[in-house]
Structure 1
């Protein structure tokens, strides 16, 4: 971000606002690389080349998320509170690139390791509406969405270690209640803008491009009307060193994430997802404690996963990769450190995590599995998820101050 687009602030003032990069934390970088190698060995052992490659895709996703600070939670909050649409526009660019790549992959059926890539298209019903609304509240209370929680853990943000505990708890409860939400409440059949309309992937692509463009320009209009504060500058390096140290433009981060999601689709034949792993971890823990998740409707037809190592699970491997990738990115920039937590922040993180875990389970995914991958797959449920997650996020703007958390104000210089 340049001085010119910071409302005329001087270079010296800007430098005072930007936290400087530290020296590379060599010992921690080495630890991150060792962990990555060890987990990759396990992935190759349990799942062969495809699963081993997925670990590196996760590493790249975590690296990109941290360097671009690509946030869904903060982007929603800034837009709803003060009208800043920079993050929303970056998301639309990300979705446009991903939709283009997904259309090509899904229409051709191309896959790296055999099989047929499958779109993430889910039913639209009460479960999606309620689940995404709860997730929207939870992401604002938990200081991060699903992907945000993972990359914040990699960056040392202490409250997100509490958030993921809540995430796992909520995911287990959501899996336990799965039958009620899926079978006892109404829902429409899955709807794809590509295959359900008869327009094909090109027709579905055109529809989504129009929607992306409309949201992009609406966000600009809102931002100008509300004279929104700009996003706060981030610590960065310059030149080619910026690739490894410092911050990337959010638009660049969005494009990189879109390409990596497309590579994920061609590697494991399904798009990027995050939260199904949390349900698996929690269900295995509950099983160890004497419960019987194998009898839950959620696990019918896939009980084998409950008895396998988590290192045999695709989503778990990618989640581990995201955490380690963000950890390596943070330590290269000398930015890994733990943050202080108040009692209120701990409570908010735990509650937020539970709401997100539960919401993601009954809404067929989180900001990644339902929103990012769902919309990239041309699924109507992804758009419904976005609408109600935004409503949940707006509701949470009134809850955050109760836990001592800031909400952006129009009087702020940066948000």
Structure 2
């Protein structure tokens, strides 16, 4: 496919996804926040369905040898960064995708959140290139790297490699757990309606 064809397909796909996100009011932050604070599970159910589809699809591709799984270090730096990012999403009132949608609709608060998201990305890119945290050579040895506070290493084996069981088996177990959570939410909503 030509570069123009690829650009057109990317534009078409992005437009369809953007329309679906805007019309459905889907938000990752709302999926968790609303379930915990307001006992509203509309976005939570959508998130669970997406996770089920992606889990089966991803592990299916990995099982047949397709795809390119990424390996990366996991440490306290990711946990702290995700925690701070999560607080920012809750304060902004939306996830990054919903912030884009709300900005497009003219929400000034979302525009400010998006602006500072870009500023944060720019500042982090300067920090990242200067310091490269965690230091790659030190974390690729397989030995514990206490300086980088690493929990795992990029050369760790996957469950599929370690046990010789296709990834789709582990994906199916995870999908069944997600289906059980989805059904529990449906039962809870049914009880709330009948109460």
Question: Which TM-score tier does this pair reach, normalised by the shorter chain?
Answer: 0.7 to 0.9
In structure 1, what is the Cα distance between the partners aligned to 2:187 and 2:77? 33
Among 167, 170, 173, which residue is 1:204 paired with? Answer: 170
Q: Would you say 1:173 and 2:145 are equivalent positions?
A: no
Shift of the 79–181 alpha-carbon distance from structure 1 to 2, 3 Å rule, reads farther
Change (3 A) 1:130 1:102: same
**Residue 182 (structure 1) aligns with:** 134
Counterpart CA distance in 2 for 1:195 and 1:81 is: 40
What residue is the counterpart of 2:49 in the other structure?
Answer: 93
For residue 194 of structure 1, report the CA deviation from its aligned partner. Answer: 4.5
Higher RCO, 1 vs 2 (CA within 8 Å, ≥6 residues apart): 1
- Unaligned runs of 5+ residues in structure 1 are 1-43, 111-116, 229-415
How many residue pairs match? The answer is 176
Change (3 A) 1:153 1:118: farther
In structure 1, what is the equivalent of residue 141 of structure 2?
none
Q: How does 1:66-145 map to 2 (within 5 A)?
A: 66-108=22-64, 117-145=67-95
Give the deviation of 1:139 after TM superposition. 0.6
Query: Does the 8 Å contact 2:34/2:40 carry over to 1?
Result: yes
Residue 155 of structure 1 deviates from its aligned partner by 2.4
* 1:173–1:195 distance in 2 versus 1, CA, 3 Å: farther
1:130 Cα deviation after fit: 0.8
Gap change, CA 1:92 and 1:56, over 3 Å in 2: same
- RMSD (Å), alpha carbons: 2.9
**Which TM-score applies when normalising by structure 1?**
0.38
Greater percentage in helix: 2
Instruction: Show structure 2 runs of 5+ residues with no match.
Output: 136-146
The secondary structure found in structure 1 opposite 2:148 is: coil
TM-score by length of 2: 0.74
Q: Does 1:155 align with 2:118?
A: no
Q: Structure 1 residues 55, 167: CA separation in 2 closer, same or farther (over 3 Å shift)?
A: same
Aligned-pair CA distance for 1:72? 1.0
Q: Which range moved further: 196-205 or 57-66?
A: 196-205
1:53 alignment partner in structure 2: 9
